[in-house]
Amino acid sequence: LSLISLLTIISANVDRITLQYFVGAEEVGIYYLPYTVARPFTMIPAAIVVVIFPILAKKISENKWVASNNLSNQSVKYISLFILPFIILEFVFSDEILIILFGADAIASTNVLKFLLLGFYILAIRDPYRLQIISSGKLKYLIVITGIALLSNIILNVLLIPSEYNGIPGAN
């Protein structure tokens, strides 16, 4: 579980490191400014996961796989019910929100905010299923999946970030 956490932390920061290496601090700022606006959407899924973990672990230990799948699916529905309206509003009014919070210069971060909102939603609905893998004791699978995701992130960053700043969109 510690290795999974380490890989997740590295994956969360590899974008910043790659941006800093290829294009500099200003672009890192453009990327991470909206990160502070989108990041709170991870709180609700985290709270739901904490609540369902003991229930999910019990169902899996009793070999109630259908019930554990139903619980994960239901969790995704509740997560979506709580955060999707806010994500949609923030997506639609991203320009206005960034200007109100950070000033007119923050408009450069609008597209990044939209991508981050989409990414955080995907991560949010992934969490119950990830927890299901942890509860089932199949940590090796999760380590492999997390490692592949990290490696893919690094490769895509190396390929797309320099392209973005040579006139080919893709890094965001």
32-43 residue pLDDT tens = 888 888 888 888
Higher pLDDT among residues 70 and 1, named by residue = 70
- What is the reported pLDDT for 164? 58
DSSP string, 95-142: HHHHHHHH-GGGGGGHHHHHHHHHHHHHHHHHHHHHHHHHHTT-HHHH
Q: What is the pLDDT of residues 152-167, one digit of tens each?
A: 989 988 888 876 555 4
Q: What is the pLDDT of residue 32?
A: 84
Per residue in 99-154, pLDDT (tens digit) is 999 999 999 899 989 988 998 999 899 999 988 998 888 889 988 988 998 999 89
Residue with tokens 């007119």: 104
Mean pLDDT of all residues in the chain? 86
Tokens matching residue 13 = 């920061």
pLDDT of residue 165: 57
pTM: 0.80
